[in-house]
A and B are shown apart, each in its own frame.
Chain A
Amino acid sequence: MKILYQIGEYVIIMFQALKRPDKGFVFRRQLLYDFKRLGVDSISIISIISLFTGAIIAIQMAYNIDSPFIAKSIIGFSTRQMLVLEISPTIICLILAGKVGSRIASEIGTMRITEQIDALRVMGVNPPNYLILPKIVAAMIYFPVLIVFSIFLGILGGWIMGSITGLIPSADYILGIRSWFDPFTLTYAMIKTVVFAFIITSVSAYKGYTVKGGSVEVGQASTEAIVVSSILIIFSDLILTQLLLT
């Protein structure tokens, strides 16, 4: 019963959130603020993880494809495919679920327990619309940019590592990453990213918005936001992959 109640509550809050903002300039200001906090502030962690992940994938590919009958360019190709299809959109979004999701849940949860949300309501503001909508829009616009950046850095990481270790000749790697490119794979990655962005922001905002109690409950809401978002990301990844790639 509790899960049905929560789904109903989530839907009601999203209906309130996804309305047209009362004041356009207030919304735009919030949007810019959330671009910075949810997007720009995530660039450093995304860069580090993507660079190293790309490097590790390239080394593992080189280790596994150790046959004179398989062209070395396959390492570059496989690295690119893994990054575009799964590592960047899904794994990076799981990391963003931890970083951005916990931030949203704890921020909105703290606003709830310190009566800031009540203050918004008293001022005639629709709190979900004011607090949640800019975060959803910011993430749905900015996360695809982050994922493209992540793919680029991952491929770069593989190239750097392959060149430094001598496992993959630079020319072969570059040939590999340019071979058999299907633009739809990038579209597929972007569709997944936009869906994941909505899941991360809406679920985390819902968890924060419905906090009751004190700081302990805000912490719990933050953890629940990450757990639920992560499960929903993996679940929707399966469904989207089945729908889009088969």
Chain B
Amino acid sequence: MIEVKNISKSFGDQLIVDNVSTTFEEGKTNLIIGQSGSGKTVLMKCCIGLYDVDSGEVDFHGRQFSNLSDKKRKNIRKEMGVLFQGGALFDSLTVEENIMFPLNMFTNMKPKEKLERVNFVLENVNLSGTNSKFPAELSGGMVKRVAIARALSLMPKYLFADEPNSGLDPKTAERIDELLSSLTKKFNMTTVINTHDMNSVLQIGEKICFINQGKLCWEGTKETILKTKNKELNDFVFATELTRRIKH
């Protein structure tokens, strides 16, 4: 379980995340939703330690994380997998080398064990046999899946994904959602996903946090989101014709 306690973060005079408190539950797919510019990515980057918070803290299973130095964070980082919006694969490395990278940095596994782990995670994202390809040779969906494989290589307890299906066609996006959700169950991870895609929300949102102008406005599930009375959330959820039809 990840506990976010009263986190605030500003850049200059602009308050981006305003006193947000929530919990991300173990073994579940937790979604942070909100409009573009609402502070979702900043909140996630505060959680994974890419931004230092102005106030508040993030605890991973009761272990404080946000106010530690990079060196002291290392133990928790070993248990963390992160999927960035564009995949953030290293261009100069092959798929195999990309996935092996965290294993090289964090473990003393033998080359054979590392290769077995690479093949295992590639199999889990349905990309067996792509070991020697470079990121430039992959499609957008494949890049995302390799990035998921890299995030999974250390068998993390916590998986963070920043808009994992942005820029993908609906079918591929759905596949990525299903993949993340099934891997969460399979490896009993605490998964946190940033998204503004309502298909993802209705498909995999076991716990949903709605962020509006940096504040946490609503928390619930995919079952309760369509019945909410929250005005800002309603404006967000029913912004498209498709969701309006679902409501009626």
Contacts and interface: CB of A to CB of B under 8 A. Distances in A.
B104 interface: yes
A124 B70 contact: yes
Contact of B105 (A26, A33, A115, A118): A26
Tier of interface size on chain B? 20 to 34
B74 A124 contact: yes
Tier of interface size on chain A? 10 to 19
A23 B105 contact: yes
A121 interface: yes
Given A22-B105, A23-B105, A26-B105, A122 B82 contact: yes
Contacts of A121: 49-50, 70
Given A33-B92, A124-B74, A118 B50 contact: yes
B40 to A, nearest CB: 15
Given A115-B88, A116-B88, A116-B90, A122 B50 contact: yes
Contacts, number: 51
A115 B78 contact: no
A23 B105 CA distance: 7
Contacts of B74: 124
A114 B48 CA distance: 17
Given A22-B105, A26-B104, A124 B73 contact: yes
A110 B73 CA distance: 26
Interface string A114-145: 11101101111110000000000000000000
A121 B102 CA distance: 11
A4 B28 CA distance: 48
B104 A122 contact: no
Interface in B82-113: 82, 84-86, 88-92, 101-102, 104-106
14 contacts: A23-B104, A23-B105, A26-B104, A33-B92, A111-B91, A115-B85, A115-B86, A116-B90, A119-B82, A119-B88, A121-B50, A124-B70, A124-B73, A126-B70
Interface of A: 22-23, 25-26, 33, 110-111, 114-116, 118-119, 121-126
